[in-house]
Structure 1
């Protein structure tokens, strides 16, 4: 596949301008599971439609629409980052997603737990236990893709964790050890935030951090896709299901009644479940 030699600059969501890379887009399409023929067709069409100064959002929408025509399952995976933003506006569905991810890794989890600290009480987004060690996890959900978690956030989270840890580990009734605090976000951390987390032993997880083991990599590996990725549901239906506490694609397998209750026909339910099956198997 030959790339266009003409240099194109695109406007990112944070209003910064950067050189557009067809190679980077090709890799994103390939990582979503699109085959080489479909990628070649999409890139050829996009070369006729992109222009200097186009927004990254417009390129995404064009690529997604073309991919959806060729391969719905690849389109679902390609939309993952946007789909997580669409879980908002509250952070609770994101907390459920993080809890499910930890369950798949062998942790027992509880979402939204009130714990006593030495000084004050705290609400913990996810409490996870494995091998008699307990982890207090704070989930920082951003609905704005331009947002980054700066150093103030891990500073605050670590101080809360230390308050809880003192109380937990000094309480003879607790048969487990509160070992570590975690901070998970759906966007990114600033460099200072990462450095602080490493220094104090706070586990940090973002969209692409740690490298090859971030949120995206884990969701793809474990097939823990949110319902907002599905191409067979419209936006209203997705949020109606989220309101009924159906957050993950695989939860739809046992949610036929909930789908009926929001007016989805038997025929469409089968189409939705076919997409669920393919997405989870891939």
Structure 2
């Protein structure tokens, strides 16, 4: 068995291919954020460290922890699955755009998703346009469906260039000169240091996994209870895709439209189980 002292000396492989020393504290923190009890945390940590070995991947560690939670506590497992659940919005990025729209609605914005906006030079398909009072926001969503990928500075530069073209056109519109125009870059993964440095320099609001330190993507999900439907552990990949095709983006959508869910599942008992899991996941927030 690998005890805590030994596990600290074991190098693991991240999704990016980089290696780092295994940190039990990180595993405990991620489980705690998911709402796991102290007993569950200790049980998962014991299960993981008991099988920890040199060169083990972070994906394997996650899979072992997730499987353990899923057997014991599905709502907690669903919340622990959040990062991977966001990646399951693929292969297209459109469900993620709708998800970002829901986050902005929770922040009090009026939202339009996938809108064609005229710039001075060309037309742009903007992922989300959001307004609140005198704030007019252009939101670009960068979706990744593989762990280890980051949004780099080239994306920040691209988004800023599009925004400048759109903003120049916006300012030509009647009564628009008084509005405060903003550009947001939202990604479901991490941003590189250069990407965030550039965003801060030009006044772009960047939002991603663990960024910013206060009000990051996962923190907003927890704050507003906007866990994606892909968090539900009773659904397989095909069922999740079908749910999204039917317009389900969030777990709360399942609760608000139970009849539509029952039409997706031919087995009424299975539909009720999914409803119960969604109910428990949201209730536990």
TM-score normalised according to structure 2 size: 0.94
Q: Show structure 2 runs of 5+ residues with no match.
A: none
Structure 2 match to 1:127: 129
Q: Which stretch of the first structure deviates more once superposed, 248-257 or 49-58?
A: 248-257
Structural mapping, 1:212-251, within 5 Å: 212-251=214-253
Structure 2 match to 1:206: 208
Q: Which stretch of the first structure deviates more once superposed, 101-110 or 269-278?
A: 269-278
Q: C-alpha offsets along residues 199-254 of structure 1, whole Å, 9 cap, x if unaligned?
A: 11111111111103110010011110111100122221111011112111100123
Task: Give the Å deviation of 1:174.
Answer: 5.3
Task: Give the Å deviation of 1:144.
Answer: 1.9
Structure 2 residue corresponding to 1:80, chosen from 75, 79, 82: 82
Structural mapping, 1:44-193, within 5 Å: 44-172=46-174, 177=179, 179-193=181-195
Task: Give the Å deviation of 1:26.
Answer: 1.2
SS of equivalent residue, structure 1 residue 277: helix
SS of equivalent residue, structure 1 residue 138: strand
SS of equivalent residue, structure 2 residue 29: helix
- Structure 1 segments (4+ residues) deviating >4 Å: 173-176
Q: Show structure 1 runs of 5+ residues with no match.
A: none
Aligned length: 281
Asked if the contact 2:115–2:127 (Cα under 8 Å) also holds between the matched residues in 1, the reply is yes
Check 1:14–1:179 CA distance in 2 against 1; reply closer, same or farther (3 A cut). same
TM-score normalised according to structure 1 size: 0.95
Q: C-alpha offsets along residues 92-128 of structure 1, whole Å, 9 cap, x if unaligned?
A: 1111111000101110000000011111111110000
Q: C-alpha offsets along residues 141-197 of structure 1, whole Å, 9 cap, x if unaligned?
A: 011222111111111111111111111111127597251111111112211111111
Structure 1 match to 2:4: 4
Task: Give the Å deviation of 1:79.
Answer: 0.4
SS of equivalent residue, structure 2 residue 174: coil
Task: Give the Å deviation of 1:261.
Answer: 3.0
SS of equivalent residue, structure 2 residue 158: helix
Structure 2 match to 1:26: 28
SS of equivalent residue, structure 1 residue 183: strand
Asked if the contact 2:14–2:148 (Cα under 8 Å) also holds between the matched residues in 1, the reply is no
C-alpha separation in 1, matches of 2:150 and 2:279:
34
SS of equivalent residue, structure 2 residue 5: coil
Asked if the contact 2:130–2:137 (Cα under 8 Å) also holds between the matched residues in 1, the reply is yes
C-alpha separation in 2, matches of 1:257 and 1:5:
52
